[in-house]
Structure 1
Amino acid sequence: MPRPVLPASLVRLVSRVVAAAGLLLVIGLLPWLARTDPALTVLRTRSAEQEPTAEVLAAIRREIGLDAGPLALLGRWCAGLPRGDLGTSWLSGEPVGPTLAAALSVSLTLMLGAVLVTLTVAALLTARTAINGARRRGKPGSGTTGALLAALPEFLLATVLATVVAVQWGWAPAQGWDGPASMVLPSLALGVPAGAILGRLLGDALPAAYAEPWASSTTAHGLPTRRIVAHALRRCLPPLLPQLALMMIGLTGGAVAVENLYAIPGLGRLTLNAAIAADLPVLQGAALALLLLGALVGGLAQLGRRLLLGPALRDHALPALHPPRRTASRWAVTVPVGLLLLLGTTIGLGLLRDPLTVDLTARLAAPSWAHPLGTDALGRDLLARLGHGALRTIAVALAVSAATLVIGILLGLLPRATVGLVDVANAVPPVVAGLLVVGVAGRDTGSAALAITLVSWAALASHTAALVEQERAANHLVAAVGLGAGRWHLLRRHLLPAVLPAVFRHAVLRVPAIALALASLGFLGLGTQPPAPEWGRLLAENLPYAERAPWSVLGPAAALALLGALAVGTAALSWRDRPTRSASATPAAAPARSREPALAGRP
């Protein structure tokens, strides 16, 4: 008798509820897990002058309910949810609900502006690939521009825009939230790197769509270029919609550094301040808002996939995209090797110098033979600090990327059961995750790496799940099942070989993003502690002097950009290793995918 199978929607709902409950439980236990006394933190936030005597701390504990224990405190908070009562702030004494609603409205407005910038940048970066592919001529773009843009730290881009565009040119407000003009610079700072990542993923999928038989048929029939491009986009967008949804949530709750820099009263800034001040009710309310927003955006992404795929999703008849393999051109090999040599030489020269020697007579010195990249505010050689910081930044970023790749693939193979974990991991901003981990484990490089790992695997898991869903619809897989192939055989011989290359390229493309996340934690003082050098800390230490001594931030920013370009080159070489299929070989694949033109939209 066959085992009963639970509906997929029910499994997803249970997964989301369990994961959300687990996150809220962890946040509720934070005052008892943290190394610091939350009553002392609340006292210092309220008044830095009052003495933290035992009587004062005991009074604060009774006031905020810590004496009742974690379960009672969490139960009281959950009991107020059906009435819309999110509790009262431990610091201000005001209801959390109105404060949270105001911050959420600001963040949603900023998110919409950032998404518009993201889509615009992605369209500009992939326009050449889309048009050349539709006309069956030319080659896809190299992706170097997208790599450089994706590797720009959001906080550095926000600082440059605020300094140049707002202060020097006076074209937009430098701080505050007052009208549409206030969202221009923050939207650019958030949307440009996200658009570069989305554009690179789309640029990776378009050649695969144009290599399918339907593209050759439509071109041979003289279909206009714009319609061929539209069909190709419709073919590529379904697996990318979950990635766009993840980016939207990240742009809402993860804009902590940008919101702080521009003094925007958004959800990210509110969550960060609540985590720093141990304001548990506000932190719980913000986490709940991000989880609900993640579920809503994820549902809209799933609805968009259904509308794009139509009968293909219902009939499971749309196979996954497989990029055509090409021989690597001379430039495709030369550029990554050149970037690697440049980055390696810079790091090697820096390792030969002392990064800790202080020379106050050479503060903020311009680049010279003695100091090729200049010095910082304490007169320390920036080339030395850049070289020694690379050992931490790159090594930790590679280790975290490898861990997120393994976790993402394993959990992506079980999409229905782990969809809640994906939502929770993506809803928690890396900075907030860093604060939670640091509160329990202390401030060091390991805590920062653990925090980034806990939240960075979600994009790879979502990508894996989308590819697996489409690969299961391939005709050769259906035939293998009909011939009696077992689950492990299908996994080893069909699913993993088809999914791993694309997810691996995605993981390589995210190495700079991992490095940027680590830099963000270092920028906020949650990673490597001084005086040890680290690229994020270098940016944090020198950003106040960026206008007076721009070379002080140019070194680490250029290193991150080189790392991004190198990641894109490596990802491109990972599939340019076989000769191109000849034109005569293309029709042979047509019978296996004969239904694709109709599914992609019949001309």
Structure 2
Amino acid sequence: MRQRVATLAWRVVLAAGLVCGVGLLPWLTRTDPAYTVLKARSAEREPTPEVLAGIRRQLGLDGGPLHSLTGWLGGLLRGDAGQSWISGGDVLPDVLQALGASLLLMGAALLVAVLTAGLICLRTLRLGARRRLGGRRAGGGVSAVLASLPEFLVASVLATVVGVQLGWLPALGWYGPQWTVLPALALGLPAGAVLGRLLDDLLPGAFGEPWALAAAARGLTGRSIARQAVRRCVPALLPNLGLFVVGLTGGAVAVEQVFDIPGLGRTTLQAALAQDLPVLQAGTLALVLLAALATGATRVAARLLTGPALRDGALSSLHRPAPPAGGLLPLLYGLVLLAVAGLGLTRDPLALDTGQRLRAPSLDHPFGTDALGRDLLARVGHGALDTLLLAAAISAAALLVGVLLGLVPRVSAPLVDTVNAVPPVLVALLVTAVAGSGAATPALAVGAVAWTPLAAHTSALLLQERATLHITATKGLGAGRVHLLRYELLPAVLPPVLRHALLRLPGVALALASLGFLGLGAQPPSPEWGLLLAENQPYAERAPWAVLAPAAVLALLGALAVSAAGALRRRSPGRHPGTTGAGKSGAGERRPVARAEREPAGVR
């Protein structure tokens, strides 16, 4: 009981710190909020000292940050979130309306994500149900492409092709269920690809557990076994699913911008840009509360799905050695990516030739040219050097921080919930307010939130691994905490988390590109990938190669990450009981279980 109270207090402190940090935004920026409000309300008035002082008194800024925060918090207790500094209207109705739109979009996107994840795992489920599951994974190429496509690029293509050219669905606005289809696809497809790969990574271990072998021996249908295998793997994915819920609500800024959706993410971004502090505070608080509800619901669902086995230490480990998969593919993808970057580095990315504007790919310009006649191969190559190195460095740091914090879930879980409630765009705005805009802003913003899914994954896997039979047996033999952590828990948890970090590598690059797309990163004429997509997106219909070139390189990066994650599955001496249970011999045969595999870990 005392631990629960301490955890709750830690959550409250973090949430309060976040809201207070957002509340200090006007005092962190280098511009006067009164001047911003004056220009928004009446651009014709002169910003004289008397006029600015009157606006500060009207907004309550003359009393300092503490007076502003206490006044806002006191209003919340009365159900009043204040009035907008820009429009003068009540904040709460507008924020609730934006939250409703975001929740509807999130629900539709989550449905798309679940269906996409199911399709990616479909072949693995079929092979596992037939007891013919081998080392190779299904849907690697498809999931790589889906996971590496920028959401704003998918949104732009869907809006242009499906909405405008074909006219099948409305492309702009927010007036009913039909308007949710295209943005839900743009958000749900990449998220579903990541969830599908994580689920596909766990399924072979579930099909190799004793219950699955016994069910197959008793003649249960493959569909029933597959359904129970999914149920067995879902608890380890629920924490990340909770993160997706918040990310699809507050982090869908670029998609909301493309489709003109008045969602919470877009409302919060506009409030931050306009320094509309009451709207920004209310939007951030709504995201924090949503994060707390989502993560609390996923933890309850995980315990209900796992049942008393989690409490009694009766689980078996899902992480067994598996045959190598995709050994040559990472090398092939890596060589192609290096070749593209190398060829691009030999060209000048800033050379202008207005007579060659929007030229199609040719021998002189293999990727074509952009709207200023610059060679796209050169710009993609030079952008790859910065983007890939930066994404790799951020991913490595996120892996280290995520694993270390995941090992102490009582500390990390509330921190994950709070940090995940802040979209990278808002973090970038806060960084910009403190340190100014520049190339380092996207790196700091993405790095501040990139570790959260890895920490959540580590904590979820650690919770289930500690409840396994071999850990219970090893404890009974007198093993201490250090021995368990070094020889049992970390060897089981690190490989899947490392594969997860590799799968997140394209997402880190995409987050950097998204901030560049929104103008919060590197500025022109930098060849950064996000800027390339933003600059050429208006010409997607006339010159599609201008957008497809950087998008294809992002897809190649995703394929490299997925194939490298599969190649990490090497056959090694197993410490955990059980076997994959199905080789090439078919449903009726199983290889004998070795003595070392029958004995609990720790028995020598």
- TM-score when normalising by structure 1: 0.94
Counterpart in the other structure of 2:586: none
Q: Is the 8 A contact 2:81 2:90 kept in 1?
A: yes
- The amino acid of 1:156's aligned partner reads L
Of 29, 38, 48, 1:43 maps to 38
How do 1:367-378 residues align onto structure 2 when only pairs under 5 Å count?
A: 367-378=361-372
Counterpart in the other structure of 2:85: 90
CA distance change for structure 1 residues 124 and 543 in 2, over 3 Å: closer, same or farther?
Answer: same
Of 163, 168, 174, 1:166 maps to 163
Measure, in 2, the Cα distance between the counterparts of 1:202 and 1:503.
Answer: 13
The answer to whether residue 9 in structure 2 is matched with residue 14 in structure 1 is: yes
Measure, in 2, the Cα distance between the counterparts of 1:537 and 1:184.
Answer: 27
Q: Is the 8 A contact 1:319 1:472 kept in 2?
A: no
The answer to whether residue 351 in structure 2 is matched with residue 357 in structure 1 is: yes
Q: Deviations over 1:393-450 (max 9, x none)?
A: 1111111111111111111111122222111111111111111111111112212111
Deviation at 1:537, TM superposition (A): 0.6
Measure, in 1, the Cα distance between the counterparts of 2:313 and 2:485.
Answer: 18
Counterpart in the other structure of 2:252: 255
Q: Is the 8 A contact 2:321 2:571 kept in 1?
A: no
Q: Deviations over 1:17-64 (max 9, x none)?
A: 111011011111111122232222323333444433333322222221
What do you get for the CA RMSD once the two structures are aligned?
1.7
Q: Which runs of 5+ in 1 are unaligned?
A: 1-5, 594-603
Measure, in 2, the Cα distance between the counterparts of 1:56 and 1:555.
Answer: 51
Of 449, 459, 473, 2:453 maps to 459
Q: Deviations over 1:243-297 (max 9, x none)?
A: 1111011101111011111111110110110111111111110011011111111
Q: Deviations over 1:436-495 (max 9, x none)?
A: 111111112212111111112111111010011111112332333334333323222222
Counterpart in the other structure of 1:473: 467
Q: Is the 8 A contact 1:351 1:387 kept in 2?
A: yes
The answer to whether residue 295 in structure 2 is matched with residue 298 in structure 1 is: yes
Counterpart in the other structure of 1:492: 486
Of 550, 560, 570, 2:554 maps to 560
Counterpart in the other structure of 1:397: 391
Percent of paired sites with the same residue:
59
Measure, in 2, the Cα distance between the counterparts of 1:305 and 1:8.
Answer: 20
Measure, in 2, the Cα distance between the counterparts of 1:79 and 1:316.
Answer: 47
SS in 2 for 1:526: coil
Using the TM superposition, name which of 163-172 and 6-15 deviates more: 6-15
Measure, in 2, the Cα distance between the counterparts of 1:523 and 1:311.
Answer: 48
Q: Which runs of 5+ in 2 are unaligned?
A: 584-590
Deviation at 1:529, TM superposition (A): 1.6
Deviation at 1:592, TM superposition (A): 4.1
Q: Deviations over 1:336-386 (max 9, x none)?
A: 211111111111000000001111111111111111111111111111000
SS in 2 for 1:67: coil
Q: Is the 8 A contact 2:120 2:139 kept in 1?
A: no
Q: Is the 8 A contact 1:325 1:579 kept in 2?
A: no
Measure, in 1, the Cα distance between the counterparts of 2:78 and 2:310.
Answer: 39
- The amino acid of 2:306's aligned partner reads L
Deviation at 1:588, TM superposition (A): 5.9
Q: Is the 8 A contact 2:205 2:317 kept in 1?
A: no
Q: Deviations over 1:81-101 (max 9, x none)?
A: 121111111111111110111
Deviation at 1:110, TM superposition (A): 0.7
Counterpart in the other structure of 1:506: 500
Measure, in 2, the Cα distance between the counterparts of 1:453 and 1:548.
Answer: 36
Of 219, 222, 227, 2:219 maps to 222
The answer to whether residue 311 in structure 2 is matched with residue 317 in structure 1 is: no
Q: Is the 8 A contact 1:153 1:516 kept in 2?
A: yes
Measure, in 2, the Cα distance between the counterparts of 1:352 and 1:549.
Answer: 24
Counterpart in the other structure of 1:600: none
Counterpart in the other structure of 2:274: 277
- TM-score when normalising by structure 2: 0.94
The answer to whether residue 420 in structure 2 is matched with residue 423 in structure 1 is: no
The answer to whether residue 360 in structure 2 is matched with residue 366 in structure 1 is: yes
- The amino acid of 2:224's aligned partner reads R
Counterpart in the other structure of 1:535: 529
The answer to whether residue 126 in structure 2 is matched with residue 131 in structure 1 is: yes
Measure, in 2, the Cα distance between the counterparts of 1:339 and 1:361.
Answer: 34
Pairs aligned (count): 585
SS in 1 for 2:485: helix
Measure, in 1, the Cα distance between the counterparts of 2:428 and 2:332.
Answer: 35
CA distance change for structure 1 residues 117 and 327 in 2, over 3 Å: closer, same or farther?
Answer: closer
Counterpart in the other structure of 2:178: 181
Q: Deviations over 1:296-339 (max 9, x none)?
A: 111111121122111123324324421332134xxx12222111
CA distance change for structure 1 residues 316 and 33 in 2, over 3 Å: closer, same or farther?
Answer: farther
Measure, in 2, the Cα distance between the counterparts of 1:21 and 1:56.
Answer: 33
